Structure 1
Amino acid sequence: MSQLYVSAEHVLQGGYHHATLRRLQEPNTTIEPHNIMYPVFLLEDDNAKQEVASMPNVYRYGINELIPVLKDLVAKGLKSILIFGIIETLPKDPTGSHADSAQNPVIRALPRLRAELPSLLLACDVCLCPYTSHGHCGLLTDSGAIDHAASVKRIAEVALAYALAGAQIVAPSDMMDNRIKAIKEALVSVKLQNQVSLLSYSCKFASSMYGPFRDTMKSSPMSGDRKCYQLPPGAAALAARAAVSTRTTRTTRTLYINFNRIN
């Protein structure tokens, strides 16, 4: 008997394997805890807590400081978080080696979060900019342009590492074309396609409003900007084209960023 092939773009079950995800598949006409994601900024120092100067009352946390905060919020109704990893002492390099290394704070924290907060839906931001020495969201050619194929391959590797560590959603925010298909194929390769969802940034506009996030993440580009791979502001037709061309199977809305899609 020939082996059946699982086509990555036709997998639906990854979009509703968790109770909160099932709620997110419903029409979201009200603002409730299940359709709000709480952003978490995770430090490599497990016992650290740092105030973010550009965002009052927002903090970066090490995992030992973060867990008590999350337990209190879950008791008050929090359903899901989006985790952003920050490195300060681990070295950054052109390929973002520590985006998926064993020392990465997100990879180290995921098993503890799954164990101590089993009901909490865990999403992980997938991007290279906090880990690359040049601060861009993809890999660069010798001329400084985005190396598209290499970037997509690397981003899929990072997303898979987070999934294997315990992430229930991987959220690629890099805006490299075709990385959704690559990530879904990576999940299929290890039989995680029905246990891990994708939250894809189908339409992400270049904007100065990301400034506080980049300050928080210590991820601003060392040179140039991200306008060559984030959509031009006001390009509604291009955004619609990007949304349609994204290789997804099922959509929902969240209150994190417009045009996000969950698979």
Structure 2
Amino acid sequence: MERPRRLRLRPSMRRLVREISLEPRHLVWPLFVHRGADPEPIASMPGQLRHSLDSLMTAAAEAVHLQLGGIMVFGVLPQEEKNATGSGAYAEDGLVQEAIRRIKAEHPDLLVMADTCLCEYTDHGHCGIVHEGTVDNDATLELLAKTAVSQARAGADVIAPSAMMDGQVAAIRAALDDAGFAGTPVLSYAVKYASAFYGPFRDAADSAPAFGDRSSYQMDPAGGYWDALREAEIDDREGADMLMVKPALPYLDVLPLLKQRFHKPLAAYHVSGEYAMVKAAALNGWIDERRVVLESLVALRRAGAQFVLTYFAPDAARWLLEG
């Protein structure tokens, strides 16, 4: 009789034969910042905050202490500061730019990623310029490129375009190179679906579309593997240094597909809806939060993610460091 259980009977043996590792360095913490003097709890994401600039610095220090792989910064503007072109995204004195400068001044070795999109800054909530009720792809590219350069100039270590505009990686790569940031890598949200799992994020960032939805530019969940590979191949050719799949667990089958095809680091975004569902179940006592979170993150690593963007990053890192 074969006895696989021999390798599972003792904790020391299970540790010895494990193939998949999960460490704090594999985790990136998405953080929201607003202009308020005080941090604000996000009702749909228990435990997460819209940070003030001061509390964001505390979070950055925590990320350093916990040895996280990095952080990603999202700006939250009041409605009166938004406009049709999302100019707050690429303003040199913009909220995210100021946040990045402050973080890098105090924590120069902390890896800071900048989400590069317009949706948090436009008064209509879409990810690009709207003409006659439709997002104008090509008109948006120039503004995404300006945003990327302003973020790099502020000190962002990684530019992460998420708008899903055709040609955005090429436009951003060219703009970064021309501005003297040839060494700044691009993490492309290459495979980003028009997902219902983004709801809590849109609450947190106040970025829900004022009309329609994003199905004309984000990917169809039923589109199939050809669509995922096509999007990733385009971004690969245009110069993306890393590729992302978003959301994470509902598209676990897509991660190994990309892992096998592309010789670049692969990321997974464990999104707000995934976070909120686990939190709600844990708060009701229905699941063991620690075990569910770590199991989910291990699954993403096993599927091929080099690193995971997750709102659970600080908690998961503490659990991992505790052993």
TM-score, normalised on structure 2? 0.68
Q: Residue 261 and residue 202 in structure 1: after superposition, are their counterparts in 2 closer, same or farther (change >3 A)?
A: farther
SS of the aligned residue for 1:256 comes to strand
Alignment root-mean-square deviation, CA: 2.1
CA contact (8 A) 2:151 2:159 kept: yes
Structure that is richer in helix per residue = 2
CA contact (8 A) 2:169 2:240 kept: no
Distance of 2:305 and 2:33 partners within structure 1: 22
Q: Which residue of 2 aligns with 1:174?
A: 163
Distance of 2:44 and 2:108 partners within structure 1: 32
Q: Which residue of 2 aligns with 1:30?
A: 21
Distance of 1:189 and 1:125 partners within structure 2: 20
The amino acid that maps onto 1:162 is Q
Q: Which residue of 2 aligns with 1:253?
A: 266
Q: Which residue of 2 aligns with 1:211?
A: 199
Q: Which residue of 2 aligns with 1:100?
A: 90
Give deviations 1:74-109, integer Å, cap 9, x for gaps. 112223001001111652111011112244211111
Question: What is the percentage of aligned positions where both structures have the same residue?
Answer: 35
Report deviation, 1:153: 1.1
CA contact (8 A) 1:205 1:232 kept: yes
Q: How does 1:48-59 map to 2 (within 5 A)?
A: 48-59=38-49
The number of equivalent residue pairs is 232
Report deviation, 1:202: 0.7
SS of the aligned residue for 1:37 comes to strand
TM-score, normalised on structure 1? 0.83
Bigger Rg, structure 1 or 2: 2
Q: Which residue of 2 aligns with 1:199?
A: 187
Whether 2:100 is the aligned partner of 1:110: answer yes
Q: Which residue of 2 aligns with 1:83?
A: 73
Q: Which residue of 2 aligns with 1:64?
A: 54
Distance of 2:79 and 2:123 partners within structure 1: 13
Q: Which residue of 1 aligns with 2:15?
A: none
Report deviation, 1:260: 8.9
Q: How does 1:113-132 map to 2 (within 5 A)?
A: 113-132=103-122
SS of the aligned residue for 1:254 comes to strand
Distance of 2:206 and 2:29 partners within structure 1: 19
List alignment gaps of at least 5 residues for structure 1. 1-27
Distance of 2:80 and 2:114 partners within structure 1: 19
Which structure carries more relative contact order (alpha carbon 8 Å, separation 6+)?
1
Q: Which residue of 2 aligns with 1:134?
A: 124
